[in-house]
Structure 1
Amino acid sequence: MLKLRSSWLRAAAVLLRPSPASAAAAAQPRGHLSSGPQQKDTTFYELRTYCIRPEQNAAFLKLTNEKIHLRTAHSELIGYWSVEYGGLNKVFHIWRYGSYSQRAGVRAALAQDPSWMSEYVSVALPMLTSQDNEVTYLVPWSHLQQPPKEGGVYELVSYQMSPGGPTVWGKDFRAAIGAHDVPGYGKVLAAFHNEFGLLNRVHALWWFESADQRADSATELTRIPEWWPQVRDATPTFTCRWTVASADDHQLCFWLAVRSSATHLVSQQNQLMFPCRFSPLK
Structure 2
Amino acid sequence: MATGAMLSTRSSTLCQTLRQLSHARLLSSTPAASQKEGWFNKLLVRKIEPTKESHSRMLSDKEIIFELQTHNLKPGTSPSYLKNYEEYVKGIGSIFANEKVHPELQGSWTVVVGDQDQVVHLWKYAGGYKSIDRANSIFASDPDLTKLIQDRNQYLRQRSTQFLLPFSFWPLVTPREGGNIYEIRSYFLKPGTMIEWGNNWSRAIHFRQANNEAFGGFFSQVGRLYNVHHIWCYNSLAGRKEARENAWRHPGWDEVVAYTVPLISEMHARILVPNHFSPAQ
Q: Which residue of 2 aligns with 1:36?
A: 55
Q: Which residue of 1 aligns with 2:100?
A: none
Match of 2:134 among 85, 105, 110: 105
- The offset of 1:162, in angstroms, is 2.1
> What is the one-letter code of the residue matched to 1:89?
D
Give per-residue Cα distances to partners, 1:40-68, cap 9 Å, x unaligned. 53321111101111121121112323442
CA distance in 1, matches of 2:257, 2:117: 32
Q: Which residue of 1 aligns with 2:89?
A: 68
CA distance in 2, matches of 1:211, 1:165: 31
Give per-residue Cα distances to partners, 1:131-162, cap 9 Å, x unaligned. 10111101132232336643211111111122
SS at match of 1:263: helix
Q: Which residue of 1 aligns with 2:165?
A: 137
> What is the one-letter code of the residue matched to 1:272?
I
SS at match of 2:77: helix
**Contact 2:176–2:280 (Cα < 8 Å) also in 1:** no
Percent of pairs with identical residues: 23
- Note if 1:208 corresponds to 2:234: yes
SS at match of 2:174: coil
- Note if 1:268 corresponds to 2:256: no
CA distance in 2, matches of 1:121, 1:182: 38
Structure with more of its chain in helix, by fraction = 2
**Contact 1:51–1:130 (Cα < 8 Å) also in 2:** yes
SS at match of 1:174: helix
C-alpha spacing 1:261/1:40, structure 2 compared with 1 (3 Å): closer
**Contact 1:35–1:166 (Cα < 8 Å) also in 2:** no
Deviates more, 1:48-57 or 1:168-177: 168-177
With structure 1 as the length reference, what TM-score do the two structures score? 0.71
> What is the one-letter code of the residue matched to 2:151?
V
C-alpha spacing 1:148/1:96, structure 2 compared with 1 (3 Å): closer
The root-mean-square deviation of aligned C-alpha atoms, in Å, is: 3.1
- Note if 1:84 corresponds to 2:112: yes
CA distance in 1, matches of 2:61, 2:75: 42
SS at match of 2:68: strand
**Contact 1:37–1:194 (Cα < 8 Å) also in 2:** no
With structure 2 as the length reference, what TM-score do the two structures score? 0.71
**Contact 2:62–2:166 (Cα < 8 Å) also in 1:** no
- Note if 1:48 corresponds to 2:69: yes
Query: Runs of 5+ in structure 1 lacking a partner?
Result: 1-12, 18-28, 224-247
- The offset of 1:31, in angstroms, is 8.0
**Contact 1:37–1:140 (Cα < 8 Å) also in 2:** no
**Higher Cα Rg, which structure:** 2
Alignment map for 1:223-238 (pairs within 5 Å): none
Q: How many residues align?
A: 230
- The offset of 1:267, in angstroms, is 1.9
> What is the one-letter code of the residue matched to 2:63?
T
CA distance in 1, matches of 2:196, 2:83: 44
Q: Which residue of 1 aligns with 2:144?
A: 115
